[in-house]
Amino acid sequence: MGKDVEKLPQIKQFREWFEKRHDYAKDWKKKNGGRVVGYYCTYCPEEILYAAGVLPVRILGSHEPESITRPYLHDMYCPFCHDTLAQGLQGRYDYLDGVTLAQSCLHMRQAYFSFADRVPNIEWSYYMPFPHGVNNPYAGEYTKAEFEKFKASVEEWTGTTITNKELDEAIEVYNKNRELMMKVFELRKAENPPITGLHAMEMVVSSQMVDKREHNEVLESFLEDLKDVEPNRETGTRLMLIGSEDDDRSFLEMIEYGINYPATFVYEENCTGARYFWDLVRPEEDRLMALAKRYVYRVPCPAKDWAVGKLFRRRFNHIESVIKEYNVQGAIIAQMKFCDPHELDIPSLRKLFDQHDVKHLTLELDITQPIGQFRTRVEAFLEAMAEEDLFF
């Protein structure tokens, strides 16, 4: 008998870290006596913070309705920004010593500045310019210069000097985490993937909340145990999830476990999924340039992936590869309400999916509202695909 993935201790650990992220950070501070910094966007060079003995943690929302952010954010800013700011104002991030943002979008920038100004426990904040046009040939050099300023600010605040030795150690830890999660994602190419999209999301998001060294230990044993997992559920329609901060357990759980037509997410093209950890830091004599190249040339966010001259948008090339390698049959485009960069991509995404005969459904999410309203639409989408398979 193969192992049941739900009973693996690593799945339980990822879930506990995911659900008790704030408790983990508080315990880490007590044990290590170090500082904790929240970061808003995954373009933040975490390795620099980690090299200074700081624990970087991703600022994410709680998916709960709130009514306290309207004095600070426009009503038409995305629900993610309202939700994350609300968590800060409510004291849920009272353990943070600092907060930082690598320039993302206008909405997130305002949420960051309000967080830095209004959350009383924040003693250090850093807004880092980051190129929107990551396909520009000068983006790497520009980003390296900004990373130098960021490193100097971290050193001044922490009273430490970050040497190449500390940077090398941090890069090694982070690269290992990326490599291990990529290996887990490789297993999802199988006809019957050993994990679901829910498991993958909990694994990736927990890696954004805990010390990567601890996460690596669990990942290594997880990969070993996955060899003996025997899926006990029907894979059904192989889905790809495309979006931004899609970390709502109830949304993934509804689609994979709560609908009459079986379906499994085999890949998540978002910043709470593969886009966070895809691509490694390649060794270079200049460590900051090595870091800059990784963050600039990773699979890009829609807010950054603008074509320059004859260069094509790299994200679409990556999505095309994923469709083929993971045998994607359907796609759910989960667009955050009021998110312009993602919304602008939808026509091009639909065209790409049509070219590869991938059925697609677009949902506009408000992460602070119940997801039950989408059940009927998703069920109809999966039913139509199932009926089509019967005839063809």
| ∠ CA 296-297-300, rounded to 5° | 85
Residue 311 has pLDDT above 60, yes or no: no
Q: Which CATH code fits 232-391?
A: 3.40.50.11900
Of the chain, the percentage scoring pLDDT greater than 70 comes to 96
Report the alpha-carbon distance of residue 282 to residue 275 in Å, rounded. Answer: 17
Domain range 5-166, its CATH number among 3.40.50.720, 3.40.50.670, 3.40.30.160, 3.40.50.11890: 3.40.50.11890
- pLDDT computed for residue 308 by the predictor: 66
Report the alpha-carbon distance of residue 29 to residue 50 in Å, rounded. Answer: 14
Domain ranges (residues) in the chain: 5-166, 232-391
Question: 236-249: b or e for each residue (b if 16 or more CB lie within 10 Å)?
Answer: bbbbbbbbbbbbbb
Residue-wise pLDDT tens digits, 264-299 = 999 999 999 999 999 999 999 999 999 999 999 999
Fold agreement between 5-166 and 232-391: yes
Say which DSSP state 75 is in. T
Q: Quote the tokens at residue 197.
A: 């999209």
Q: Quote the tokens at residue 44.
A: 């933040």
Band the pLDDT of 181: cuts 50, 70, 90.
Answer: very high
Characterise 118 by phi-psi region: left (phi > 0), alpha (psi -120 to 50), beta (else).
alpha
Residue 225 has pLDDT above 60, yes or no: yes
- pLDDT computed for residue 1 by the predictor: 58
- Structural contact between residues 45 and 149, judged by C-beta atoms closer than 8 angstroms: no
Residues in contact with 9: Cβ distance below 8 Å, sequence separation at least 6, in sequence order: none
- pLDDT computed for residue 336 by the predictor: 83
